[in-house]
Structure 1
Amino acid sequence: MTDTEYKKLYDKDPGSAQTALFDEYLSYVYAIVYNKLRSCGSREDIEECVGDVFSAVFISYDRNGCFDGDMKGFIGIIASRTAIQMYRRLVRRGDTVYIEEETSEIADTEQVEHITERSEMRNTLLRLIKSLGEPDSDIIIQKYYYNMNSNEIAAKHSMSPTSVRMRCSRALKKLKELLTREGYDMKEGNI
């Protein structure tokens, strides 16, 4: 849908214009949000963020502006920024302990053990990543924690994207060996 088409539809019926925009760009927005939040958010968090994106689009869209083109870029930028803000909130919230949420978990000793094991695994993993040295540790953290692609990482380290991918692959093999030595059973997809 172009800006002109949206303006015409909005002038006739604002509700149907928003519905048409939502229908056309829902899967696009969902894909952007899912890629940003899949590592830390629940399905509800992702759906909430998608709703926030469309709210921001409807609120910030200037119908009197001189933009005349496909709205995909405009919506994509808002989706990306909103998802990044949600990611930061979720990551911050993950470190905060709320008494209301923890009371049921404290009573369940299996849950406490599971939380403790995961915390220990995270600390071990971070220690082993740091032991890989520079720039391998930076590459692993930027790729898997900050979801940066090879081109973005390459620009930060003055390397080619191919070199970044190769170093990442080698670093993951080293990391897997180090984790195995630490006593962790490394099955596919569990790193």
Structure 2
Amino acid sequence: MIFDDDNFIDGLRNRNEDALEYTIDRFTPIVTSVVGKVLECYGKETKEECISDVFVSVWWNIERFKGEGTVFKNWICAVARFKAIDYYRRFANKENVISINTTVSPDVLDEIITNEDRKEVVELLNILVPEDRKIFSMRFFLGMKVKEIALQLNLSEAIVSNRIYKGKERIKRCIEIEARKGQELEEVDVSEG
């Protein structure tokens, strides 16, 4: 069967390798661009490995895509971006300081998430240990189910669920602490004025 923009998604869902080949041929330039922006300070080999992982992720998670071919480009860009962020974190310095270059084309970024929200999300995820950050990315950015995450990371579903629960609680406490600090600063400003 010959694949084109109208039928490649159905081919991917039916696990047709020719559809995957079409997807790779069609979307490699944009995936390369997105990955290259995030991993610009890393070598060609790292970028190529990440790009390959993007297409593997698309292959195994195509059922998560709920849309037509016209929005597939945005979806694969989001997958590429988050996969590249995972790579960046993996190779970042030991302090896990994250400095993400967000100069991807505006039409893609506007549909994924705003700059302010993205910075806030990355800062919140930084309070989690690396494995928990990966679980959160898989669950909330890629939309994977707990069972799928458990299989991919070779963990039990109970462990994955527990880490998600504890991670949410930790993030919630962090937000509450920041909110209290903000209120205290406002009270100080008002009393001094």
**TM-score normalised per structure 1:** 0.45
